[in-house]
């Protein structure tokens, strides 16, 4: 009862507890979302959500209906994956869910290597700025494979990849921009304003933890979602930034140094269940990519 799209809209509203956030997540207008959810409620014959001050919660009927909607959505996703396989067994597409802030260094080479052996395949990437959303969306079946930090208690398959090390980025003429390659004690930057990462970015907690180990809390001059933007803001003199090494491009006038204490994040590829052969081929491409370090 109800269409798959309406079920998807209901699930988004319940998970986000907000029509506004759900509409943003689905890239539809709030009016469209409300109209489709109302149509679903009319089909069911009872209200499925209740609008409360500051949040939206499922009704009793909504809580009973939701597991069936999730099952239908997962079955539809499995059917789509099945029909995306050609007659010779080769897939015609691969869906990736990624955190571009952490996986930017490994993805281009892996995709290129994978398409060398799957020349007719198409790769689509769903990019998430919020680190908490990545495993949630994978549980919904939005992609074949996720690449990001190792999720706690992940119920599916996990394939460890590598450790993404962060470096301190400073203007080329900064007094701490030592070119000898020696580590930089973060405590020397305690009195600086910093270029920090937005709270929802998983890099944010890594930076705060590293600074805490060095004995201080960084004071923000500006925050950004994107490591590449953080590099340019640091180059402009707004403060030091801690970013993945792969985010530092040669066309920006900065110097980078390894921090002391060291800062890093373990990355993995993971799936909801046993990986199909073409997905495992991409996992191997991820593990075999030269990162240029």
What structural domains does the chain harbor? 4-83 (1.10.10.10), 93-161+267-287 (3.40.190.10), 163-265 (3.40.190.290)
Query: Which residues, other chains included, contact 155 with Cβ-Cβ below 8 Å and sequence gap of 6+?
Result: 272
Residue 34: partners with Cβ closer than 8 Å, 6 or more residues away: 19
Tokens of 158: 């996990």
The pTM of this model reads: 0.63
For residue 65, pLDDT over 80 is answered with yes
pLDDT of residue 293 exceeding 50, the answer is: no
- Mean per-residue pLDDT for 186-214? 94
The dihedral through the CA atoms of 130, 134, 140, 146 has a sign that is positive
Q: What is the rounded average pLDDT of the residues 11-28?
A: 89
Q: How confident is the model at residue 88 (pLDDT cuts 50, 70, 90)?
A: low
pLDDT above 60 for 256: yes
- Outline where 191-276 has alpha helix (H): 202-213, 227-235
What is the structure's pLDDT at 87?
A: 46
79 or 214: whose pLDDT is higher? 214
Taking residues 196-215, report their average pLDDT. Answer: 93
Per-residue confidence band for 291, with pLDDT thresholds at 50, 70 and 90: very low
Q: CA-CA-CA-CA torsion for 251, 255, 259, 262, nearest 10 degrees? A: 30
Task: Please state, in angstroms and rounded to a whole number, the distance separating the CA atoms of residues 87 and 160.
Answer: 32
Res. 290: pLDDT tops 50: no
What would the pLDDT profile of 217-233 be if each residue is shown by its tens digit?
A: 999 999 998 898 999 99
287 vs 213 pLDDT, higher one: 213
Percent of the chain with pLDDT over 70: 91
Biggest CA–CA distance in the chain, Å, is 71
With beta carbons less than 8 A apart as the criterion, state whether 248 and 168 touch.
no
> Residues 55, 16: contact at Cβ < 8 Å?
no
Whether pLDDT at 292 is above 50: no
Size of the chain in residues: 293
Q: Is 266 exposed, middle or buried (0-12, 13-18, 19+ CB in 10 A)?
A: exposed
Contact 262/209 with Cβ under 8 angstroms? no
**Cβ pair 156, 270 in contact under 8 A:** yes
Of 54, 212, 239, 24, which Cα lies nearest the Cα of 130? 24
Residue 16 CA to residue 84 CA, distance in Å, equals 30
270-283 per-position pLDDT tens digit: 999 888 888 999 99
**Confidence class of residue 204 from pLDDT cuts 50, 70 and 90?**
very high
pLDDT at 157: 92
Query: Quick check: 85 pLDDT over 60?
Result: no
Average pLDDT score over the chain: 87
Q: Are 197 and 204 in contact (CB under 8 A)?
A: yes
Q: What is the pLDDT of residues 106-160, one digit of tens each?
A: 788 889 888 888 888 889 999 887 888 899 999 989 999 999 988 888 999 999 9
Mean pLDDT in residue range 226-250: 91
């Amino acid at each position: 009862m109800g269409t798959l799209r309406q079920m998807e809209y209901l699930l988004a509203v319940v998970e986000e507890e907000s029509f506004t956030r759900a509409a943003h997540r689905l890239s539809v207008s709030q009016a469209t979302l409300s109209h489709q959810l109302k149509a679903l409620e009319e089909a069911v014959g009872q209200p499925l959500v209740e609008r409360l001050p500051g949040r939206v919660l499922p009704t009793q009927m909504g809580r009973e209906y939701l597991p069936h909607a999730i099952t239908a959505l997962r079955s539809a996703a499995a059917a789509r994956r099945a029909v995306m396989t050609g007659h010779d067994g080769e897939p015609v597409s691969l869906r990736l869910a990624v955190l571009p802030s952490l996986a930017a260094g490994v993805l281009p080479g892996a995709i290129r290597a994978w398409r060398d052996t799957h020349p007719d395949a198409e790769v689509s990437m769903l990019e998430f700025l919020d680190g908490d959303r990545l495993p949630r969306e994978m549980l919904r079946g939005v992609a074949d494979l996720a690449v990001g930090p190792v999720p706690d208690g992940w119920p599916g398959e996990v394939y460890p990849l590598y450790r993404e090390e962060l470096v301190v980025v400073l203007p080329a003429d900064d007094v701490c921009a030592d070119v000898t390659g020696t580590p930089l004690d973060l405590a020397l930057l305690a009195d600086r304003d910093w270029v920090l990462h937005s709270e929802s970015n998983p890099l944010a907690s890594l930076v705060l933890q590293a600074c805490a180990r060095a004995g201080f809390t960084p004071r923000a001059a500006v925050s950004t979602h994107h490591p590449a933007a953080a590099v340019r803001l640091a180059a402009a003199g707004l403060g030091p930034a801690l970013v993945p090494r792969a985010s530092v491009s040669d066309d920006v006038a900065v110097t980078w140094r390894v921090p002391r204490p060291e800062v890093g994040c373990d990355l993995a590829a993971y799936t909801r269940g046993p990986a199909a052969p073409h997905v495992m081929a991409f996992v191997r491409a991820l593990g075999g990519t030269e990162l240029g370090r």
